[in-house]
Structure 1
């Protein structure tokens, strides 16, 4: 398992440098950064601000593109080892050991770079108040590293979060890793071709009704796929229901599943500690579903409730009936 500690310090400065960050959803970097091409889908990404851990998630996708970047260089030696000071003057200092020139100005050049932007909203866990900067540095593979992208020792990092002074449950992160590895569950944040029409169709079929909780404002309802849209890129018949956004996310992660035989909700144990969610456990769907819906709900159940026994019995018409023990 690979995990990365990435620096999200001084957001306004990063935006001015062409980065577009939102810790809970996405993070940007480019090919000028060490380890830039090492991060991959399925890795854990932990964001900090050089003071404390902000949160962590699992990389669902990495958008790769091309761009240009303005970089400073030393006007004396011509090297690109120039740092801009925040308070002390002169403003720029060259870090080249053979130069160390200080100046009020720097040279600037434009270079082509490869850009990267992670998508990691689905498994996001806020972690403020859990680990400090010194604790995080101690958990890096290279503890003295000054890189913006640093590899973490995952087992030690996981243990520090789950057994520290402020224990942080990481079931959502662990589940997201499994779901992404299996090619399912990235529906939360993707902008898909045909998605507006798909949602419109569901509103026409079901009205302004969340399939788990009942009537809801249309603004709160999302078109939830009951299967992995990212895996096949199609809107299947009977493959969607309208869900409140929070329930959509929990369904994608498998923290809520639908028993395809009884058409009732089944919640993961950690959700039962929250009263508003606990009351949903065992509750029936609030809408009528078709055989196609049941087929997709069964696939979702198999993926996220494999510890519960399931028997498939041939039906009289050749269709299969699913029995959950």
Structure 2
């Protein structure tokens, strides 16, 4: 993974200085959340290093493994006089709030505004610092530091003293996720063998397709240690049980016919836009995905042992993927012949 740039980011808590923004939910070890109102929100990209801090110290480092977005709303507290969000809540002095314009007041003007919400997911790359590093020691490494900005670009080479050793050491450990390839001691020794028979009744086919899915997913979560076999994502809510050979009955819920995949990867696999070469478990992508965020997975090896998967099922699915590729190649040749 490319190392990208480094950012000093404020992990929100009781010590937040500016009271104009309301409603972030950071789970320190797994995700950093921000929105389109935050300066530099478009600058952070996948692979960048995040150095997380609170009001006093550096908490740790993590890599932005992937970034998700969604439309939403944000509550903004504004100055009743100038409409600015640069207001500070005071702990003792009254009135409670003071704006940069000099106006003081007890009740801010609260408004709901549309925004894009971002989540930078760490995927087990978070590393806490082993010793205390005051935040003042890292601020000097931010060439364009602005106290009102929650995300500041940081140059690692500008760090000095113990901060340099500790932060750069943690950053080096954040390069790769801290998970190991799962090896299931209790995995079934009898592998799944697809037979092509459809055991479902036509009228209730969709219902039957769901029956047993919960138990199937539970088995795969345990077998693969709650880890997506393609991306390494460890957020259980985003992981789905994917059938290598499509579901046609209870027999297809065999663990060796299953992969644990992140929701978007599952969709690509179902559409045969992502294939798995059965001999070495190499991941291959459909040409349609060239230049997309998924291109980085092309050529990677599936993160599990081959003995856990049915090779026969993998070969059938690989053939379906190859057929789709040949269809694309045929269409391209026919167009070139026109």
Aligned residue number for residue 121 of structure 1: 123
Alignment match, 1:186: 231
Quote the offset at 1:94 in angstroms: 1.7
**Normalization by structure 1: what TM-score?**
0.54
1:196 counterpart (225, 241, 250): 241
For the pair 1:153 / 2:203, whether they are aligned, the reply is: no
Q: CA–CA distance in 1 between the matches of 2:82 and 2:129?
A: 44
Alignment CA distance shift 1:129-1:223 (3 Å): farther
- Residue 111, structure 1, aligned to residue 156, structure 2: no
Distance 1:203 1:161 in 2: 51
Long gaps (5+) in structure 1 = 177-183, 208-221, 241-253, 264-284, 294-325
Q: How big is the alpha-carbon RMSD for the aligned residues of Structure 1 and Structure 2?
A: 4.5
The answer to whether the 8 Å contact 1:187/1:224 transfers is: no
In 2, distance between residues paired with 1:198 and 1:73? 51
Distance 2:110 2:127 in 1: 39
Cα distance in 2 for partners of 1:133, 1:201 equals: 57
CA offsets 1:151-209 (integer angstroms, 9 cap, x no match): 11033459966735x98354442346xxxxxxx962323679983244999983469xx
1:202 and 1:223 in contact (8 A); partners too: no
**Number of aligned positions between the proteins:** 227
Match of 2:39 in 1: 34
- Residue pair 2:123, 2:234 contacting (<8 A) in 1 also: yes
Pairing 1:2–2:5 present: yes
Cα distance in 2 for partners of 1:105, 1:195 equals 46
**Is 1:132 the counterpart of 2:134 in the alignment?**
yes
CA shift, 1:113, in A, is 1.6
Provide the TM-score with structure 2 as the length reference: 0.53
Query: C-alpha distance in 1, partners of 2:46/2:154?
Result: 16
In 1, are the aligned partners of 2:68 and 2:119 still within 8 Å (CA)? yes
Matched, 1:174 2:219: no
Greater strand fraction, Structure 1 or Structure 2: 1
Q: How does 1:201-220 map to 2 (within 5 A)?
A: 204-205=254-255
How far has the Cα of 1:6 moved from its partner? 0.8
- 1:136 is displaced (CA, Å) by 1.7
Displacement of 1:55 in angstroms is 1.6
What is aligned with 2:77? Answer: 72
Residues 114-145 of structure 1, C-alpha deviations (whole Å, 9 max, x = no match): 21111112322222525221112122222454
Structure-2 change in CA distance of 1:74 and 1:130 (3 Å): closer
